[in-house]
Amino acid sequence: MNSAPLLAQTQLDAVFAWTPDGPRSVGDYLADAEWLAGQLPAAGYLLNLCHDRYRFAVGFAAGLLRGMTSLQPSSQSPETFRRLQAEYPGLVCLCDGAADTLDLPRFDFPADFSTISTVNRKNQAKTKSAIPEFPADHLAAILFTSGSTGLPQAQRKTWGKLVANGRAEAIALGLDRQPHAIVGTVPVQHSYGFESTFLLALHGGCAFWAGKPFYPQDIAGALAAVPQPRLLVTTPFHLSALLSAEIELPPVDMLLSATAPLSTTLAAQAEARTGAPMLEIYGSTESGQLASRRTTDGAAWTLLPDVSLEQSGDDTVACAGHVEGRVPLSDLIELLPDQRFLLHGRHADLINIAGKRTSLAYLNHQLGAVPGVVDGAFFLPDEEGPDGITRLTAFVVAPGMTARQVTLELRQRIDAIFLPRPLVLVDQLPRNSTGKLPRGELQALYAEKVSHGGR
């Protein structure tokens, strides 16, 4: 494949996205992208900070038309911007709202973009231009890891691999046979949101809702704004909050989760509440999405089309298909027949204290199962205690409970040697927009609450 089209849909009047101003067709999208490409300054990198999913999509296509590379950090902090400015000179920020971009060059979507878009559509109706194609080896995007295990790392993605990525997920989820309207609670810059909302729209034939609803009522409103069949792309954190709100939801036809392990209990609750299958995606920013499963059907995962896993001892490498090169995986994996496998935790999550082994994922699961615990996470500090043993810490959100009560409940669930010392009650955990807990944030919380003598 020497080149690949911007999107698989060739019908210009097909709906590409749903926005508060109404639907945007494929023709509208092409016209808007061509207009924006003509406005952008000459630069090699486009730092796409758009919160609106449709405007992000317009910006991404405009960047491709200009031969640019889309930078997609998982954080929009001043520290992140300073790192990007140093590592990618000449970048330009694309913004669709108030954002402190320091002194970086920027281009803002005009306030009257909807009016401009109407003119674009009229011009497009006259020209009926073909779907543009781009070289398969063009460096289309650089995504960044979330920082959950350290500093965010850049991951280079070529256009041909991104196209194959979107097609593989569509086939795995059956969306190639019946496209769904997508509502996503995750940012489009994040690899999961990028793949399972934007790439599914480009190469899975799915239209998407332009917003990023967070609160349960907003999610319900977004679902109501798009037609059936509907796909809700979310995370365990967002899904749990949605179900706990006990509000009436429009019919949902498929649920998709990633970024953190989804318990079978929560999956079963989601399916009972909505009547929709609850699916999960497994992957990483480094490898892209690799496998899917229906959580209530069992623990085994099935690889996406054309993806392969190779093993040497306990080490596993992802390759082939849409994977860029050969990517070592951080998980302990047991290969099964028929392109299936089991996960047994992350290498970095494995804990060995006094000869006994467990994983942070297992401990977090047991902590979350304690009645009254709303949220919680174990943390393994880098430093050793005075006795030379590293002590586990746990940060817990449990309104109305004491630390002793939570510890007594945990004692019934885990070996005493893995009990947290200390267990710290907090009002909330420093989760990011996808529900993850970056290690740097937990380290800061540990320094505040534990290392400095706080409780």
**pLDDT tens-digit series, residues 131-159:** 999 999 999 999 988 655 456 789 999 99
What pLDDT, on a 0 to 100 scale, did the predictor assign at position 388?
46
Q: What is the DSSP string of 123-146?
A: HHHHH-PPPPEEETTSEEEEEE--
* CA dihedral angle for residue 71, residue 72, residue 77, residue 82, rounded to 10 degrees: -20
What pLDDT, on a 0 to 100 scale, did the predictor assign at position 355?
58
Phi, psi of 249 (to 5 degrees): -115, 140
Q: What is the DSSP string of 182-213?
A: EEESS-TTSHHHIIIIIIHHHHH---EESS--
pLDDT digits (tens, 9 = 90+) for 186-227: 999 989 999 999 999 999 999 999 999 989 999 999 999 999
- What is the mean predicted confidence (pLDDT) over 309-325? 94
What pLDDT, on a 0 to 100 scale, did the predictor assign at position 172?
97
Q: Name residue 351's beta-bridge partners.
A: 358
Question: Which of 257, 29, 272 shows the shortest CA–CA distance to 129?
Answer: 29
What pLDDT, on a 0 to 100 scale, did the predictor assign at position 348?
63
pLDDT digits (tens, 9 = 90+) for 253-311: 999 999 877 888 899 999 999 999 999 999 999 999 999 999 999 999 999 999 999 99
Distance CA 309, CA 48 (A): 32
Reduced to 3 states, what is the DSSP secondary structure of residue 439? Answer: helix
- Contacts (Cβ under 8 Å, ≥6 apart) of 168: 289, 304, 305, 306, 307, 321, 322
Q: Are 360 and 439 in contact (CB under 8 A)?
A: no
Q: Name residue 69's beta-bridge partners.
A: 45
| Cβ-defined contacts of 222-227 (< 8 Å, 24+) | 222/183, 223/183, 223/249, 223/250, 223/252, 224/250, 225/18, 225/20, 226/18, 226/181, 226/182, 226/183, 227/181
Residue 25 has pLDDT above 60, yes or no: yes
Amino acid at 155: Q
Q: Name residue 154's beta-bridge partners.
A: 144
Amino acid at 385: G
Amino acid at 308: S
DSSP H helix total and E strand total for the chain: 13, 27
DSSP 8-state secondary structure symbol assigned to residue 74: S
What pLDDT, on a 0 to 100 scale, did the predictor assign at position 386?
44
Structural tokens at position 393:
């810490």
Q: Which band of pLDDT confidence, cut at 50, 70 and 90, is reported for residue 454?
A: very low
pLDDT digits (tens, 9 = 90+) for 388-408: 456 899 999 999 999 999 999
Residue 385 has pLDDT above 60, yes or no: no
Q: In this prediction, what percent of the chain has a pLDDT beyond 70?
A: 91
Structural Rg of the chain based on CA atoms: 23
Residue 240 has pLDDT above 80, yes or no: yes
What the chain holds in terms of domains, given with CATH numbers, is 3-344 (3.40.50.12780), 354-451 (3.30.300.30)
Q: What is the DSSP string of 144-181?
A: E--STTSS--EEEEEHHHHHHHHHHHHHHHTTTTS--E
**CA 314 to each of CA 190, 342, 345: distance values in angstroms, whole numbers, following the listed order:** 28, 13, 12
What pLDDT, on a 0 to 100 scale, did the predictor assign at position 330?
85
Distance CA 186, CA 231 (A): 13
Q: Are 133 and 41 in contact (CB under 8 A)?
A: no
- What is the mean predicted confidence (pLDDT) over 101-127? 73
Structural tokens at position 23:
């639907």
Interhelix angle 216-224/236-245, nearest 10 degrees: 90
